Amino acid sequence: MSVLAPLAERMRPTTLDEYNGQDHLLKAGASLRRALDSGLIPSMIFWGPPGVGKTTLAHLIAKHLNRPFHTLSAISSGVKDVREVIHKVENAGMFQQSGTLLFIDEIHRFSKTQQDSLLGAVEKGTITLIGATTENPSFEVISALLSRCQVYTLKEHSKESLSEILNKAIKNDTILKTKNIELKELNALLAISGGDARKLLNVFEIIVGTVKSGPIVITDKLVHATAQQSVMSYDKDGEQHYDIISAFIKSIRGSDPNAAVYWLARMVEGGEDPKFIARRLLISASEDIGLANPNALLMANNCFQAVQAVGWPEARLILSQCTIYLASSPKGNASYMAINRAQQLVKETGNLGVPLPLRNSPTKLMKELGYGQGYKYAHDFPGNFTQQEFLPEEIKATNFISPGSSSKEQGITETIAQLWGNKYTK
């Protein structure tokens, strides 16, 4: 590796044992590790934020399995490039036992036609596809291709993992190990990285380069004084959108339409995918507004569909309308908190049995076993309601719904109290 290459490139691991992070996939017994150890890997999609090692992992898998490896970038490649690779593999006769791997970076940027061009080769086993994406593959990868791939979610690095990467670079890098570097404070550096190891190393290299002689003592003050402008200059390939979309959503949550439309403008001017923005508006409409204004979700859904229909530049008008509406709307998170509490209880209590009255009873045997017996059909009672138990016995009367200050949320809990009395009070 040339010493002139960026630090992140110089520190790229060369074996799976050197790879840092993603233990949930690569530790002994984990799903991806088992597949690698067996030598029989499926086509797969790596989904995760920038800088977590998606590209590196693909290269290491090819090296670990000693497989032929081709790589394409969805930014610069098209159907012609895909077909050329497939044709080369077919003519070389490598696709039976050698199992050629085709890595496509940023596969979410491939159009439907481009993704369609992969289907035949993936289905026949001509190639084993590894796609990398920062976007949810459920939205960005066509269903026919997604159904033929295993999706592996890569997590952003922890502070401990980032610290380990940084210390390893100081100790082992050809250039850094010749310098007297002391990591006195790391909070600012780790915060700027945002869980992105590549950003961490590149920013660190910039900071080290500003100290021309003597010991280099890394402090939060030094990082803030020298890194901010440099970060802006190199963070130009889509990584910054995580910070800006965060500011955008927090402005909506904070009911500041002026700030929200500003961050929207930043994304519009930066060429952000309008569907990415529209999906975040959908999430915000439910997570941050929810029952306080159910029309917000309808507005956001209509916005998403309209954005798909018109695209840039007109989509900016639709996104602006929806953004201002959501930011100006009453806020409530009762539904968000309710599903969080319910999921947590499921994790704690496991698969509790469905009460017999609620079970389906399509066969005679099931009826004889008591399935469905005692069920009260609500429409047979005055007001189409009668009290019965719908939760498992072990968690009966558990309340998941707590209203905020929103009048609509409070109205829902009042309705629950009118119907169920004091049952759901804890």
Least confident of 16-20, 139-143, 422-426: 422-426
Per-residue pLDDT tens over the stretch 107-121: 888 888 888 888 888
pLDDT score of 333 = 85
Q: Residue 105: beta bridge partners?
A: 73, 132
- pLDDT exceeds 70 at position 236: no
Contact 223, 189 (CB under 8 A): yes
Mean pLDDT (whole number) for 76-101: 75
What domains are there in the chain, each with its CATH number? 21-153 (3.40.50.300), 159-234 (1.10.8), 256-328 (1.20.272.10), 348-420 (1.10.3710)
The per-residue pLDDT for 131 is: 92
Whether the Cβ atoms of residue 337 and residue 355 lie closer than 8 Å to each other: no
Q: Across all residues in the chain, what is the average pLDDT?
A: 82
CB neighbour list of residue 251: distance below 8 Å, 6 or more residues apart: 257, 259, 260, 262, 263, 327
Tens digits of residue pLDDT in 41-61:
889 999 988 878 899 999 999
pLDDT score, position 297: 93
pLDDT class for 93, splitting at 50, 70, 90? low
Q: Per residue in 336-367, pLDDT tens?
A: 888 888 888 888 887 878 777 777 776 666 66
Length of the chain: 426
**From the CB of residue 135, how many other CB atoms can be counted at a distance below 10 Å?**
17
The pLDDT tens digits for 166-188 are 888 888 888 888 888 888 888 88
How many Cα atoms occupy the beta-carbon half-sphere of 145 within 13 Å?
Answer: 28
Q: Give the tokens for residue 281.
A: 């508006």
State the average pLDDT over residues 15-31.
84
Q: How confident is the model at residue 290 (pLDDT cuts 50, 70, 90)?
A: confident
CA distance to 231, 276, 324, 376, per residue, from 336 (Å): 34, 21, 22, 30
Q: Which of 213-217, 268-272, 320-324 has the highest mean pLDDT?
A: 320-324
